[in-house]
Amino acid sequence: MLTNERTTRTERLLRVADEMMTAARTAPKGKGVDIIEVVLAAGETIGMLSKAMLEYSAKTGLGFIARDALNILHAEAIVLIGTTQQTQGLHCGYCGFESCEVKQQFPDVPCSLNTVDVGIAIGSACAVAADHRVDSRVMFSIGRVAQELDMIPGCNNIFGIPISCASKNPFFDRTSTAPTPQEPA
């Protein structure tokens, strides 16, 4: 029996995405409090997300989001990692407020430990992708629009990690949608 790599690509990448989600879940958390949420976007959801990113780019004028919107169409799957907000009672001041009680008066300001937890989970997920030699890239743009779409209800600080296995990583050396700077006259 012969199996062409191209015919099993999606199946294999979805297995890697599952392992990435496990790595994000089991990553260390500040004070051992698990407030991380992880979801997988695949299939037609990627196209829907790309369309929403194009609309968000047009609305905000952020051209790089349009570039990323076209870029994710090369992904077989996207792992989304976000966090619910919960102050950790450390009164560390890393969020810019003197105590957790003061910070809680500003619920839209994330607790710094929550943000660090998302970063550690992202790193763990990307390590799995790298271990499998799967192309990936952490993208704020995906997460920002996923947050707008409430793809992970109750979460913010969402980031997306698109994955692919192609002969060249489609998430690097991308064509920019930003205007080219003019040469001096």
pLDDT 10s digits, 116-150: 999 999 999 999 999 999 999 999 999 999 999 99
Residue 126 sits in a domain of what CATH number? 3.40.109.10
* Closest CA relative to residue 114, chosen from 142, 140, 94, 143: 94
* 98 located within any domain: yes
Q: How many other CB atoms sit within 10 Å of the CB of residue 168?
A: 9
Q: Is 171 helix (H, G, I), strand (E, B) or coil?
A: coil
The total domain count for the chain is 1
* 10 located within any domain: no
What is the mean pLDDT of the segment spanning 66-79? 95
Inform me whether the pLDDT recorded for 104 exceeds 80: yes
* 176 located within any domain: no
- Say which residue, 98 or 172, is predicted with more confidence: 98
Cα torsion at 23, 119, 72, 109 (round to 10°)? 130
Residues 1 and 103: their CA atoms lie apart, in Å, by 62
Q: The whole model's pTM is what?
A: 0.89
